Chains A and B, each alone.
Chain A
């Protein structure tokens, strides 16, 4: 058994995103983190490792110093044995299918039997990649799981549906699972493990090393612009004594807002 997990490093939940002046990209004002849904995937991967005494490898597409630092401080510190960060200039501007092809190739190369992903990224709310990875690998796939049991090569996964109905899905590995909130409670990174994680292997293959070319990840649909929503009109402050302000408020409600 070998466990894989896909970890996307995104803007922190309290970071602010801002479209660049020319609208060609967006800037993150704040830190980057492993996404919160991915954190459930990490926890499930570590739990699976503990049960089967096996290896865990994390996979990320695209990376810089920030990404590597995050993966070391969280994924590797929490118990993953190795991180694979695919870095290639051709990945700039790729789409979900390009990311999925890259991940699938990396997962195949490592020989994983099960892969955990977060149900979605929190920056672009994209949910397509895990299903595409499963399809490209020809594996089973269960999305948004809240419970999982693996016995031998059989699994039983529970999904939470509307109205509290629980759907139980059974199948065989290999499989891709995406994690929903409630699947587990992610553990905290421990100080000695964070320091030890600095020495864990982190590979940065390019596309060629995975048997892919730039053409394999060329986007079929491209983002053409980023922009801000239209600004809301500013509130108005009424001045004067109470009687003046009340009369003016009533007039505005009657004549402009037309609610009276």
Chain B
């Protein structure tokens, strides 16, 4: 029996868009309580040709959680945290990621993926989009941590998938060369069946339960904001820290994240926090305390920062809860400043999610800085993955910003990079994906999608254009 279909516009009204602000529409909402319910819904919709989109935290910045007609399927009932052991933890797909991580950390274990939205997004969605975050510099994206999934295929079959399970021989699997950078664009060439449901943006199945691998909770973490006179000195430091970290992941200089803020960001933060005179760029870094001890870390950091001309006397350190909270003020002041500007301008911002090979980062940063409209640049510089935020103030500027973004995407592709390192394709980057992978590879994605979802009902409009597959 199908769960009740809710069509009350006042209920649906709150679910029609996501963090992209793309307007959406839906005809109804269903609230399954089990994988079997999900299967019933998908079988019905598959035969009736009704589009279905799972809905949860709606933090997608690419319109991935914006419905384009059909039914929304709430994952809220899948909210049980299961067993948390030493090596593995399980939970329903609808568990809030941050709450799941807190429950794990209370047992002294650690599940690292930390998308910025982790307190507003669900575990299942973070798997579906292979979420990453600042810490992915050290720990990689979500894919590396997923051990098992319960998935309902768009035709209603329920699969319990473990890492290493083989892909059925008659499934057409995409084979192509992903760019050698952090990427969340397109269907990754799968090593096993599990990979088909991680990072495919929910287009190949509905995840209802997740099992992840755990690691040791760091004994302590040192936070630090270092200011630099300019981008070049910050970048030179990043290169040393990145190399050191990759050379010896447990060494004295082995950051778990390296986050960049340009001069524009610091301008946004002024008035909310103190920015030293002469600062042209800043890095937010975290260092887990290893066997060498906190003092050895601090000395190594000071030495490297000094060598690259950082404003060392202004380098801010946080070693405990209150000081870490104050350090976060600076980080939070920046998005707050950007949002204030967006509201004042009355125009949507355009945020990029491009990543390029490390060697190409300076070239990419040249282009970012040459943006024709007001902009700020920040993000995961350790992964050569920066978010350029273009802040147009007129419709003409908005068009210029969009054209510029297209040009940047083409340039990132030409440099061997990706059009999306963590946000995915959703409905906003389908053109960019086509430019990146080409028609032939895109056709191989379609072919797999068609094999699993003959009527293209699941996540319609995400990754692929709406219409016949």
Contacts and interface: CB of A to CB of B under 8 A. Distances in A.
Interface in B312-371: 312-323, 326-327
Contact of A191 (B301, B321, B326, B327): B301
Interface string B69-99: 0000000000000000000000000000000
A188 B327 contact: yes
B104 interface: no
Interface string A51-83: 000000000000000000110011001000000
A36 interface: yes
Contacts of A191: 224, 226, 298, 301-302, 305, 312, 315-317
A198 B295 contact: yes
Contacts of B295: 195, 198
B120 interface: no
Contacts of A33: 320-322
B374 interface: no
Contacts of A70: 320
A31 interface: yes
Interface residues of A, number: 24
B302 A188 contact: no
A31 B302 contact: no
Contact of A73 (B302, B312, B319): B319
B317 A188 contact: yes
Interface string A214-250: 0000000000000000000000000000100000000
A187 to B, nearest CB: 8
B216 interface: no
Nearest to A185: B274
Contacts of A30: 321
The size class of the interface chain B forms with chain A is: 20 to 34
Interface residues of chain B: helix, strand, loop or mixed (majority): helix
Contact of A188 (B294, B305, B312, B316): B316
Interface in B257-314: 294-295, 298-299, 301-302, 305, 312-314
A93 to B, nearest CB: 27
A12 interface: yes
Contacts of A192: 302, 312-313, 315
A190 B321 contact: no
A13 interface: yes
A14 interface: yes
A195 B299 contact: yes
B321 A194 contact: no
A189 interface: yes
Interface string A1-41: 00000000000111100000000000000110100100100
Contacts of A198: 295
B313 A188 contact: no
Contacts of B294: 69
B298 A195 contact: yes
B312 A13 contact: no
B243 interface: no
B321 A189 contact: no
A186 B327 CA distance: 12
B10 interface: no
A76 to B, nearest CB: 13
10 contacts: A12-B322, A13-B322, A14-B321, A30-B321, A33-B321, A186-B326, A188-B326, A190-B316, A191-B224, A192-B313
Nearest to A30: B321
Contacts of A13: 321-322
Nearest to B225: A188
A192 B320 CA distance: 17
Nearest to B220: A31
A174 B319 CA distance: 34
